[in-house]
Homo-oligomer: A and B are copies of this chain.
Amino acid sequence: MRLVRFTTSGGPTSIGVLEGEKVVPVALADGDARLLEIAMSRQRPDGIGPAIPVDDVTLLSPLAQPASIRDFITFEDHYANFLRGQTGAVDIPAEWYRTPVFYFTNPAVVHGPDTEIPHPVTDCLDYELEVAVVLGRGGSDVTVEEAPDLIAGYTLFNDFSARDVQKVEMALGLGPSKCKDFAHALGPCLATPDELGGAPGTPRGQVRARVNGREYGGDDLGHMQHSFARLISHASTASRLRPGDVLGSGTAATGCIMELAGLHGGAAYPWLEPGDVVELEAEGIGVLRNTIGPRRG
């Protein structure tokens, strides 16, 4: 089941189920609780109106307001390239193979599909190709075995990044903040776990990115060093997860310009410019498309 939040001209914000090229309205959207409840039930509710061609609706972020966003680094090749580019380190710390690592990021700047992303103060604007798990239940000290019971579903997550700002921030010792606090995109749907391959909490499936229609990098969720179930368990240890929490996989290998430019040169992979169209795609979830907005005056 692929759940969407959407509006039609003049209509209220609704929850629908994406079936082929149509959206079947199944509920009115009142905050995020109802959508998460439907996802957790794994049962497609009866429609409350006629199916609408998806081209006739405006899709919104599947969550109106995440409770929090944690972003991990789980793809080995991306982490190696990240460390080399940001800190000059050549070796991945051994601890990373044993324990997932994450940071909290800004939950107040979520954008949906087909929106314009506001340009921050940067000359090095990048996208990041990620899949995020969305929690429908909270918990503390959740085991890896229990973790799949908390999962409402998965969505694409574009963690837009200002690489020049990031490089300065990394040297200050507190991790990324302003380089990533201006915009995230989520969408186009919340796909329940059965839409993806793999075992519970360990989805499989190809992910890829395009810029202005040109194929950029891609990877497979099977290459995550730590499964989503493990990420959930780790985040919950001696802490507290809430419904509506979003946990990002971190960038897939070759899933951003920083990496591609490092491998193939900046001339072949220039930073994003106003008007550029970024598409992320994942098997079972769909395509998340956003356009870069104008530079700040």
Contacts and interface: CB of A to CB of B under 8 A. Distances in A.
Interface string A239-262: 111100000000000000000000
Interface string A88-128: 01000101100101111111110000000010110000000
A108 B73 contact: no
A267 interface: no
Interface size class on chain A is: 35 or more
Contacts of A234: 178
A242 B108 CA distance: 8
B101 A174 contact: yes
Interface in A63-94: 67-68, 70, 73, 82-83, 86-87, 89, 93
Nearest to A119: B238
A238 B172 contact: no
Contacts of A237: 121, 178
A173 interface: yes
Contact of A106 (B118, B182, B239): B239
Interface stretch (A30-38, A163-171, A215-223): A163-171
Contacts of A99: 168
A70 B177 CA distance: 9
Contact of A176 (B68, B70, B174, B241): B174
B239 A173 contact: no
Given A102-B177, A103-B175, A174-B102, A118 B169 contact: no
Contacts of A101: 169, 172-174, 177
Contact of A173 (B68, B83, B121): B83
A47 B268 CA distance: 68
A175 B178 contact: no
Contacts of A121: 237-238
